[in-house]
Amino acid sequence: MIHERATATLRPPVKRLLPRRAFIGGLGAAGLSIRGARPASIHATEKQRKHLLIGTLFPETGAQTLLGDEAWRGVELAIDAARAGIDADIEVLRADAANPDAAIRGMIRKAGKASDIAMILGSQSSTAAFAATAAAELAGIPYVELDAPADGITRRDFKILSRICTTTTDFASAAESAITTLLIPGWKTGAERLRLALLFDIGATDGSFAGAMLAACRRAGLPVVLSMAYATEAADFDEEVARMRRAGIELLVHAGRTAHVLLLYQAMQEAGWRPRMIIGAGPGYGLAETGAALGPALDNTMVIGNPLYGEDSAPIAAAYQRRYAAPPRGGASLTTHVGTTLALDALRTGKPLPASLTAISRPRGSLANGWGVRFDTTGQNRESFVTLQQWRDGALITIDPKIPGAAKPALTL
């Protein structure tokens, strides 16, 4: 994967929109192929071109900018594909997730009124998602969460929130499975003898993962020798590495941001120590930039993440290459592309969101990243999943035994 260091994205002008119901009905009647969104506030007459307004909310500033931009690219490509298939103008209100409340108020001001916004797509950041989904719920704007996984996002009894992506419980279950079905048998040891450490950022996503991981370890009888939380602004991990070294840690499970991954490997290099294996949870471990920065030091590191680009998603990767003159920087763009496409499919039915989205049912393997669709009563898609991956010679590959064609895992760093 190649790192594209800077990309300028122009925000399309927003026109005052016509109400939605006549347009949505027209979409359904005409059988127009638009994929993945919630009904919009759109007016249409026979002499006026139809308009659809969609808000997007991803990090554009701060530490998560790169991941936010990769997530946005998947949305942009999906919307571009939808534009090619309908006789309508899709207008996008793109906003920075740094201040979700202000961003959504700004969207409403530009739109004229909240009901003119078909839906908001986000968020990459679980911290932003908690605030953004609450603001959208109060405003009456359907929110489709594409890739923020904190469990609590869909546990607040919201009525117009849907989440297509996985949860932090899914991440923790996959990590526990990798430990119990691959590492312990491969190391010919017992669960009770494993020297396991958990290191995590206290932020919304990683803190939620840590709670789920500790619960999964208790259920599996895995002793956690060290559980270490750190502030998002942590400047180094020298003390944490020293503690793991003194405790004889064999396996480290780490959930943190991209910068934290770099700091951890720097601290291990300076200490001249590393555990037998590291399992990284989250998109920071899956970025091409992380692999480029750490090089061979990252080899054999295991990663829990949303599915990688593969044969079924090759057309999306090709469209990405044409648009951005570089290959995808990670799986985040595939995740958001799949979710956006599904949301636009729901909008095509002419029925209101979220009912039109949560009514969709598709088996696993039917979406471009291998996911299926089956929403529960909280609006969570239960047919999404994460996979076990591993860095090899500068590339991230799938090693999950449940995935056909997956590579054989290496069991030590």
Q: Please list the pLDDT of the chain residue by residue as tens digits (413 residues).
A: 433 333 333 333 333 333 333 333 333 333 333 333 333 433 444 446 678 899 999 999 999 999 999 999 999 999 999 987 766 689 999 999 999 999 999 999 999 999 999 999 999 999 999 999 999 999 999 999 999 999 999 999 999 999 999 999 999 999 999 999 999 999 999 999 999 999 999 999 999 999 999 999 999 999 999 999 999 999 999 999 999 999 999 999 999 999 999 999 999 999 999 999 999 998 999 999 999 999 999 999 999 999 999 999 999 999 999 999 999 999 999 999 999 999 999 988 889 999 999 999 999 999 999 999 999 999 999 999 999 999 999 999 999 999 999 999 999 99
Residues 6 or more apart in contact with residue 6 via CB below 8 angstroms: none
In a domain, 330, yes or no: yes
Same domain, 154 and 186: no
57: Cβ contacts below 8 Å, ≥ 6 apart: 95, 96, 97, 100, 103, 104, 120, 121, 122, 123, 128, 132
Domain, as residue range, for 126: 21-166+310-382
User: What's the pLDDT score for residue 12?
Assistant: 37
Q: How far apart are CA 189 and CA 185, in angstroms?
A: 7
Same domain, 27 and 100: yes
| Residue where the block lists tokens 């700091």 | 263
- In this structure, is residue 1 part of a structural domain? no
Whether residue 42 is found in the same domain as residue 176: no
- Asked if residue 10 belongs to a domain, the reply is no
Q: Are residues 85 and 221 in the same domain?
A: no
144 and 29 housed in the same domain: yes
Asked if residue 69 and residue 142 are part of one domain, the reply reads yes
Enter the tokens of residue 136.
């959208």
Answer yes or no: do 64 and 38 share one domain: yes
The torsion of the CA quartet 301, 196, 204, 297, rounded to 10 degrees, works out to: -20
Q: How many domains does the chain have?
A: 2
Report the pLDDT value the prediction gives residue 350, as an integer from 0 to 100.
Answer: 82
Same domain, 268 and 340: no
Question: Which CATH number goes with the domain that contains 78?
Answer: 3.40.50.2300
35 domain-assigned: yes
Q: Residue 9 domain-assigned?
A: no
- Same-domain check for residues 279 and 189: yes
* Residues 39 and 97 placed together within one structural domain of the fold: yes
| One domain, residues 28 and 96 | yes
The answer as to whether 412 is a domain residue is no
Please state, in angstroms and rounded to a whole number, the distance separating the CA atoms of residues 397 and 186. 20
Burial 368-401 (b: 16+ CB within 10 A, else e): bbbbbbbbeebbbbebbbbbbbbbbeeebebbbe
The three state secondary structure string of 158-207 is: CCCEEECCCCHHHHHHHHHHHHHHHHHHHHCCCHHHCCEEEEEECCHHHH
Domain membership of residue 331 (yes or no) is yes
Q: What is the pLDDT of residue 402?
A: 95
Say yes or no: 96 and 137 in one domain. yes
Instruction: Report yes or no on 222 lying in a domain.
Output: yes
